[in-house]
Amino acid sequence: MLKKTFLASLAVCGFAFTNSFAALSNDDYIEAAWMTTRFLGAQRSGQGPNWVLDGTNNTTSFLKDSYNGHDVSGGWFDCGDHVMYGQSQGFASYVLALSFAEFTTGFYDLYTGDYTDYKASNDYSRKGGKSNDVRDLLEELRYEADFWVKAAIDENNFVTVKGNGNQDHMKWVTAGAMSKLGTGDGGEPREITGNANDAYTPGMAAAMLAIMARVDPDESARAKYLKAAKTAFAYAKKHKGVTNSQGFYESSWWQNIWEDGPCLAAMELYRTTKDESYKTEAKSFYDKVDFEKNSFTRLSYSDASPITYILGEYYFNWHPQGDLAGSEVYLENMYNQPDYKDSKGIFIKDAKTAGFPTRSPSGGAFLYALYSKFSKDNSYDEVIEKNIAYLLGDNSSKKSYVVGFTRNGANAPTRPHHRGYYGNEDPGRDVNGMGDGLAKNKLLGGMIAGNFNSGSHDNNVSNWQVNEVCVDINAPLVGALGYILSKKAPVEKVASDVESEEDKKKREEEEKKKNEQEGIVAGRVLNTNAFSIVQGSSSITINSANSAPFKVHVFGLNGKLEQEFTSKGATLNVSLKNKGMQIIKVSSKSATKTFKVNNY
């Protein structure tokens, strides 16, 4: 009833599905997915390469990040500054890895992961990229996963934060230039937090790594990621809570709900390894998650429990204690209430007085996409698309919230709170003195925190409350775009794809069906009303249903007759002379049947 009411309300408002449902074309969604995915490359710390730093004097950053002698350089900056907060990174990397695993065909191969294609062509638009047979999101995920491998030092040491937020915010320069300024101005050496009482961050990192251990086409990478996932999970099990970071990320924001991190880690480790012990541990954490307490909050880095709810119900057949309503009702309570959406069904009303409001439409769209995939229910596709289209400028103000996305005349933000975008390397230059961003960086692809109260953009760079761009804001948007494209314009296969569990099951079912049509069934090479065959090690037994005499002819695949037998009764055992595939023709006066047998 909830679903019917929701869709009916959309129809009343004029948003029932029609050919003119949204102003965006498939190519518009491809453009948006390309931009928002490549944004992750603008967040790269370490050796990189980081494409927004191309052309500056300092193209690498923070190469000296270390903890107790261990190199922990690399990974993503969480927002427009250069501190690396694992609390939001862990969430973002898991959401993106889960999106890649579940909506694989919606993610394209439009550029090379080292960005040499853009550099060589001197064209940082989509047409300047070249495919390299690896889906772009996978290449971006690898960069972050390799950092988490470093961060997971052992079960007693795990890096959750790199840098000091107060020091980092002193100068408005690129990451490469800041690295050289010294500790007091956010440069090297930086503070590294490696032993916080935090179970959430290593849990989310472990969940991400566990997925990478089953989707990465490189066998050695899969082994590396699985080992690190187990280490991160071991650290999470020894700790509680979330890292507290100087007012930038307060542990209290998690409302004392942190078990969803290690729960998702155990869930994904089970999905990857099928080790029952992980399933048992996942259930233990699952039963401690207070789903009711967070049932009316938006999906964000401080609340991953809606993902836990959906995965628990549809993969493990679990329900929270005392609650059998299910994921659909859970999501309806979070997003489809009058106080949480506008008259057109966009999930923005609950966010007008909250920080970073664009999380609502993208988070809701992502969760409904995840629900739709697992439940095999496509009735929310219109809702998903409408909310994402809104963020891309399909609204009454033609206001896009993604830096550089101007399709269909949308007005995109051009003054994001992101230091690399401007390419400034002068530490004496104030944030409010920033000019326009570098021309090659205009398609940054980061979604801003946003403001739904105004139809125009705030062009104050220092106003981070509106103009901040972060990996955790982009992650659900990228995921929802992947879902939309997986339905509207999927890329079924690229050369490096790893066969998913779902695809493997589908292939095996198709092979089984084909073999049955050809008379081949594992163990019992069969089936016809008149005859059946049972295959042994180097022989076959042919049975006649009516005990009538029959003849057997054995042919090679070239059609040449190799053996011939006659039976006077119901059963005949035949020793096959040759190896390989054989064609067995069995015939009587009333029936003829041909079988294929592979003689090993």
Q: How far apart are CA 478 and CA 490, in angstroms?
A: 15
Angle CA(68)–CA(74)–CA(80) in degrees, nearest 5? 115
pLDDT at 320: 85
The one-character DSSP state at 555 is E
**Domain-wise residue ranges, the chain:** 2-498, 518-599
Cβ neighbours, 10 Å, residue 563: 16
Q: Kindly indicate the confidence band of residue 474, based on its pLDDT and cuts at 50, 70 and 90.
A: very high
Please report how the helices 359-375 and 305-316 are oriented relative to each other, as an axis angle in degrees rounded to 10.
10
Q: Kindly indicate the confidence band of residue 525, based on its pLDDT and cuts at 50, 70 and 90.
A: very low
Please report how the helices 276-286 and 305-316 are oriented relative to each other, as an axis angle in degrees rounded to 10.
130
Q: Kindly indicate the confidence band of residue 516, based on its pLDDT and cuts at 50, 70 and 90.
A: low
Which residues touch 11 (CB under 8 Å, ≥6 apart)?
A: none
Mean pLDDT of 117-143: 97
Of the candidates 366, 356, 529, the one whose C-alpha atom is nearest the C-alpha of residue 452 is 356
Q: How far apart are CA 119 and CA 58, in angstroms?
A: 16
Residue 214 has pLDDT above 50, yes or no: yes
From 28, 54, 78, 81, active-site residue? 81
Which of 1-10, 39-48, 113-122, 439-448 is the least confident region?
1-10
Greater model confidence, 325 or 565: 565
Query: Are 2-498 and 518-599 equal in CATH topology?
Result: no
- Its pTM stands at 0.82
Query: Strand, coil or helix: what is 553?
Result: strand
Amino acid at 51: W
Which of 114-128, 218-232, 362-376, 512-526 is the least confident region?
512-526
Say whether the peptide bond before residue 189 is cis (omega within 30 degrees of 0).
yes
Architecture of domain 2-498: Alpha/alpha barrel (1.50)
Which residues touch 162 (CB under 8 Å, ≥6 apart)?
A: 45, 62, 65, 72, 75, 83, 84, 190, 191, 192, 193
Q: Kindly indicate the confidence band of residue 350, based on its pLDDT and cuts at 50, 70 and 90.
A: low
Q: Are 364 and 335 in contact (CB under 8 A)?
A: yes
Mean pLDDT of 33-51: 98
Residue 511 has pLDDT above 80, yes or no: no
Beta bridge partners of 594: 585
Greater model confidence, 541 or 107: 107
Residue 58 has pLDDT above 50, yes or no: yes
pLDDT at 295: 62
Burial of 11 (0-12, 13-18, 19+ CB in 10 A): exposed
Q: Kindly indicate the confidence band of residue 582, based on its pLDDT and cuts at 50, 70 and 90.
A: confident
User: Tens of pLDDT along 299-309?
Assistant: 899 999 999 99
Which of 17-26, 107-116, 245-254, 333-342 is the least confident region?
17-26
From 82, 239, 417, 418, active-site residue? 417
The class that CATH gives domain 518-599 is mainly beta
Q: How far apart are CA 440 and CA 12, in angstroms?
A: 44
CA 34 to chain centre: 14
Residue 136 annotated as catalytic: no
Greater model confidence, 433 or 49: 49
pLDDT at 515: 57
Of the candidates 324, 197, 206, 326, the one whose C-alpha atom is nearest the C-alpha of residue 264 is 206
Mean pLDDT of 509-523: 56
Residue 4 has pLDDT above 50, yes or no: no
User: Tens of pLDDT along 368-383?
Assistant: 999 999 999 999 999 9
Which residues touch 545 (CB under 8 Å, ≥6 apart)?
A: 529, 530, 531, 532
Q: Kindly indicate the confidence band of residue 142, based on its pLDDT and cuts at 50, 70 and 90.
A: very high
* Residue position matching structure tokens 């959750």: 160
User: Tens of pLDDT along 395-432?
Assistant: 999 999 999 999 999 999 999 999 999 999 999 888 88
pLDDT at 22: 56
pLDDT at 12: 36
Residue 17 has pLDDT above 50, yes or no: no
Residue 10 has pLDDT above 60, yes or no: no
pLDDT at 5: 42
Q: Are 390 and 21 in contact (CB under 8 A)?
A: no
Q: Kindly indicate the confidence band of residue 353, based on its pLDDT and cuts at 50, 70 and 90.
A: low
Percentage above 90 pLDDT, the chain: 66
Mean pLDDT of 10-36: 68
Residue 381 annotated as catalytic: no
* Residue position matching structure tokens 């401080």: 302
